[in-house]
Structure formats: C-alpha cells, structure tokens
Amino acid sequence: MIVAERRHLSEILKNIEPYNKVLILGCRGCVAICSTGGDREVEIIATALRIARKRQGKPLITYEATLIRQCDPEYLANLPELMKDAEAVVSLACGVGVNLIADLYPDIRVYPGVDTLFFGANTQLGVWQEKCRGCGDCIIDLTAGLCPIARCPKNLLNGPCGGSQNGKCEINPENPCIWHLIIERLTARGELDKLNEIWEPKDWRTYLGESPRKRIREDLIKNNKREG
C-alpha cells in the first residue's frame, strides 16, 4: 500500500486560513488501511480543525465525506456536488488523489492533509515498513523476494557493502542488512549461484527517466472503444 502520515495541524490550518467552509475528504484506499485518511480520520481532523479555528476566533464549518478511492476519476465524479457549499478541500488521500483532483477540477482549491511516504507493508500493529520503491524493473526474482533497492540504504546491487555487524545494517542497526538476508536465504535454498553474475548498473530510466511515468494498456483502450 501507499503509506502516508497526517500533516501537522498547523500546516493544514495555514492553508485553509482564508476559508470559512471546508470539505474534509477521506479515501477508503491505502490511506484508510494505514489509519491516516479513512472515515475515522476525516472525523478526527474535521473536529480538530473546528476546535483550532474556534480558538482563533474564526469559526470553521466543515463538511465530511470519504470516497472509495481518490485516485480514480470514476469515484471523483460527484466531487462538485460534495463541494457545492465548500470553498476548499482538505484531501486525506495520498498525493496521487490530490493531484488527480487538481487535474480534473482546476477551479477547486485542494490542499493535502497528509504527507505521502512510501510503498510499504503493515508489519505489526502501528508499524509500516518500506518494501518497494516502484523502480519499474523488478529484480527480486533473483534476490529471494527481498528488495535491495528499497531496503538497502545504499541501494547496492551486487552484494553487501561489508559494513554490516551481526546481520544488522551499518546505516541503521535497527534494520537487518537486506543483503545478509538475501545471501542467507539463497544459500538455504541452494540458489546462491543466482548471484554469480555481476549485474550491470541498473537502468534507472524506468524509475527516474521520462517523468512522469505512464503505463498504457492498448487492449483495454481498444475493448473500451468497441464496447462504447
């Protein structure tokens, strides 16, 4: 999932300072699962903003709604209706949702209510850990499913840096050295020869080049045209 965390209330308050009526818009996708932007958080943030503004002597009216997803135009279709009495939106979706609203509705003033962090997994209650960086050219078939791009702070591709101590990363000893784990796991499987080949430098164009990246499925576009 995309992992996000709530912005400091003072930043949200600063953005909505000119407005008296604001829609707090949650998302039931990733941000709901990481307890940052679902129904419950919409209610909490709306209440916190109203209290803070009352203290400032400038009461705020909030409207609350949560969409199935904010990263899909289909679910944003009734946003203008939700906005009919509001002057601005505080979106609790990840940056994708905020960008899509800004693209589709140029007249709507939309402000982020969360900071978008990384692609991660919920490894225990209250803990999310980065597992993938969306590099666009996956190599974890060769590394026993463990990603050195996202999980080695130096993004090393041809084995460990040599600084790990007792299997822990030298940059942050709270974390395992991911290359230590990769080698341990491949050894146990009898697949260490997967690392015999020296990898060429990674082609980072699939990650950083030709930004913003786009994925096109011609078959879906054609089917859609035929059905339409």
Binding site for ligand SF4 (CB under 6 A): 132-135, 138-140, 147, 149-150, 152-154, 156, 160-161, 163-164, 169-171, 177-179
The answer for residues whose C-beta is within 8 angstroms of residue 23's C-beta and 6 or more apart is 62, 63, 64, 65, 82, 83, 86, 88, 89, 90
* CB-nearer residue toward ligand SF4: 79 or 147: 147
* CB-nearer residue toward ligand SF4: 80 or 173: 173
CB of 187 to ligand SF4, least distance (A): 16
* CB-nearer residue toward ligand SF4: 156 or 192: 156
* CB-nearer residue toward ligand SF4: 39 or 170: 170
Rounded to whole angstroms, the Cα distance separating 173 from 50 reads 42
The DSSP symbol for 205 reads G
Backbone angles phi, psi at 63, to 5 degrees: -115, 145
Q: Which two tokens stand for residue 139?
A: 């190599």
E strand or H helix at 18: none
CB of 29 to ligand SF4, least distance (A): 19
CB of 34 to ligand SF4, least distance (A): 18
